[in-house]
Structure 1
Amino acid sequence: MAMRDISFGSVNLLNLQLPGRPVYTDSDGWPPEVYDRKIGFTAGILSRLNADLFGFQELWAPEALQQAMDAAGMEESHLLLSPPGHAGTSITCAGAIRREMLVGEPEWIVEFPPELELRSTGDDPQQADISVSLNSFSRPVLHVQLQPDPRTPVIHAFVCHFKSRRPTQIWTERAWYSAATHSDHRTAMGYALSTIRRTAEATALRIMVTKILKRSETPVVLIGDMNDGKDSNTLNILTEQPRYLTTLATGGGDNALYTAQVLQEYRSTRDVYYTHVFQDERESLDHILVSEQFYDNSRRRLWRFDDMLVLNDHLNWDDHKDTGTTDHGAILARFKWQPAQQGIV
């Protein structure tokens, strides 16, 4: 790619942990032979995508990811971004960036922004009061700044991993759960709790992004496993549902985010994009969202969309815990420097 072009990748690592170290309630973790397969598979993904900035989810041990990066030949080109002092006893988001592109120090954000209030007396006389007391992300969000070239603006990038759609296991709630009362309804209630948590996380991240985007021309990118599809409420909150313009129209949204999936669909004759398979249903949970500085039809475009690639053949393999593959597809979005405004070269 040319010096001012830029590419972003997203890879869910499926609990990348050192062999024999605990993963959640599995005290034995990955057997050495499966761990070796995971490193080999991850290295192959990294080498094929070759993104300028990678966003990772489900990392336990930074040492394991560094081993995969080294095996991919990235030890000199890319810098691993992981929380300082992360001991491998919990799961986190992480990144890998071309060394010359990093601006400042990355940060991992745990607490929701103070502006977030999720309570209301309702906007309809038939509605009861509602209040949600969440104040932190399930997984720390990575915020990193990068600059592809001294002649381009600095890009703000966020790497996230929202609460899964798996129902929350409420049967462990000692304070209120009663098998006699709640057992028949625990799946529905668990799905509701997971949705509320994921919705709050999306809103918190959207507030953080708005504080950068609104009334500015700062480029912003969101990368991650958002555990919802492009038409979901989760993505609607993040993107603010911008209008995708017709071929010759120009505009763009000051506070909008555009999904690389939709940008690719406008280029394709058919949509075969999926990053996850559950009970034979193929869907897209992993996304790269970009501000109008990356949107072809924006009057404030700096980069034009080039293409999006999805590596997902491994999702049809039988046992990820044996083959060392992940249970998500890996995605790459590439953008070429081509400003829409005259006078910018």
Structure 2
Amino acid sequence: MQQEVRFATFNVLNLAPPGVRFYADQDPYSQAQYDAKLDWIAQQLDLLDADVIGFQEIFSQTALREVLSRTRKYRDAQHVGFEPEGQDNLEANVLAGTLTPSVALVSRLPLVGQASNHFKMPHALAVTLPGIEPPVTTFTRPILHVQVLAGSDEPAVAGRPAPRPQIIDVFVCHLKSKRPDYRGGGSTDNDSYQLGLAMLRSMIRRGAEALGLRYLISDQLRRQRLPLVVLGDFNDVAAAITTQLVTGATSERRSLRERPTDRLFDSYRIQSRARPLRDVGYTHMHDATMETIDHVMVSDAFEPGAPGAIGEVLEVVYVNDHLGLRSPEASDHGLVLVRILLYGQKPGA
């Protein structure tokens, strides 16, 4: 009888088949490198022991399925993912720098309905980047939306309340990185003017994608108000305006509400079994700076102060020891695991 559900997000760093060039300036994996990477990812998955995992930087869904076959705990798990855009003309897209990885989801919980892959930004959202035409109307990496069934319909045992069967909406995202976008001209970081424009293009696009994801979330909550979780690489910290566009938050203060809200909560900030402002984790290192850019955001269904909450975030765990080791097969991101307690119901309730 499952009363705890574990969600995780995992940027695996360039999961691609051997012999396939995925970036123009990077050599393809050899068979030995590929095997080492698959084995490392499989080990991390077994260590996580999460029920639902969102993945980023998947250049091959087939490679991810092979990872699952090498695990102990996910050989029978369900896998949802779509191949990256540009596979039809792979070499040309690699040389043009337009091949981008996709996201995926693996679940040991039952899936409900059909998964959806959102490539085009909703509500005709379009933004113009400085020096680039036409306007951007798509996500860099499509957003994946899946519904999972958590809880159990088994009766309570020895007076303990049984968790209620519950459909949970899950979105998996990978927002635009901070890497400078030189498509409008320039190609060197030594030119401060071109560098500034290139960084601005990336920031604008990440903001547009964040708003597009917020539209998808709001649409889903208004269509069918179910508990909702977002797993992903946001490429920015929780307090950044782009991240807050996704959450719909202007403040991290916890308060009782009289009615449901469309905003999301940073699971790290609302966990009940830790002192989050004192115990700080991180998921990425850049220029000797440690920051958390991979997040698990949850709806008010998992905020105990909200009306109608069905559970709470018990704990957030960061798996990041490998970041200091810099093994070639390892990811450059830490993994985030979130433990959620589902509230029970008495028999006949």
TM-score, shorter chain, exceeding 0.5? yes
Partner of 1:122: none
Partner of 2:112: 103
Deviation at 1:8, TM superposition (A): 0.9
Equivalent AA in structure 2 for residue 134 of structure 1: V
1:290 aligns with 2:298: yes
1:238 aligns with 2:249: no
Secondary structure of the corresponding residue to residue 78 of structure 2: strand
Contact preservation (8 Å) 1:253, 1:292 = yes
Deviation at 1:153, TM superposition (A): 2.9
1:158 aligns with 2:171: yes
Partner of 2:95: none
Which deviations, in whole Å up to 9, do the C-alpha atoms of 1:116-157 show, x marking residues without a partner?
3669xxxxxxxxxxx993211000111101111454331111
Partner of 1:274: 282
Partner of 2:203: 195
What are the within-5 Å matches in structure 2 for residues 80-91 of structure 1? 80-83=79-82, 89=90, 90=99, 91=101
Partner of 1:52: 51
Equivalent AA in structure 1 for residue 229 of structure 2: V
Deviation at 1:32, TM superposition (A): 2.3
Deviation at 1:103, TM superposition (A): 0.5
Distance 2:306 2:343 in 1: 12
Q: Tell me how many residue pairs correspond in the alignment.
A: 320
Deviation at 1:76, TM superposition (A): 4.0
Distance 1:295 1:28 in 2: 46
Contact preservation (8 Å) 2:119, 2:138 = yes
Distance 2:191 2:22 in 1: 27
Percent of aligned pairs with the same residue?
A: 29
CA 1:214–1:82: 2 relative to 1, 3 Å: closer
Partner of 1:136: 138
Give structure 2 stretches of 5+ with no counterpart: 91-98, 154-163
Question: Bigger shift: 220-229 or 3-12?
Answer: 3-12
Equivalent AA in structure 2 for residue 327 of structure 1: D
Give structure 1 stretches of 5+ with no counterpart: 120-130
1:224 aligns with 2:241: no
Give the TM-score taking structure 1 as reference length. 0.83
Equivalent AA in structure 2 for residue 135 of structure 1: T
Which deviations, in whole Å up to 9, do the C-alpha atoms of 1:238-278 show, x marking residues without a partner?
112255326xx566751110011212488226232100000
Partner of 1:66: 65
1:211 aligns with 2:219: yes
Deviation at 1:218, TM superposition (A): 1.5
Which deviations, in whole Å up to 9, do the C-alpha atoms of 1:289-333 show, x marking residues without a partner?
000001122122101111111100111124x4x2x0000001111
Contact preservation (8 Å) 1:21, 1:27 = no
Secondary structure of the corresponding residue to residue 150 of structure 2: coil
Contact preservation (8 Å) 2:257, 2:307 = yes
Distance 2:9 2:222 in 1: 25
Equivalent AA in structure 2 for residue 136 of structure 1: T
Distance 1:30 1:230 in 2: 34
Give the TM-score taking structure 2 as reference length. 0.83
Distance 1:252 1:231 in 2: 25
Contact preservation (8 Å) 1:252, 1:300 = no
Deviation at 1:70, TM superposition (A): 1.5
Deviation at 1:66, TM superposition (A): 1.4
| RMSD after superposition | 3.0
Partner of 1:331: 336
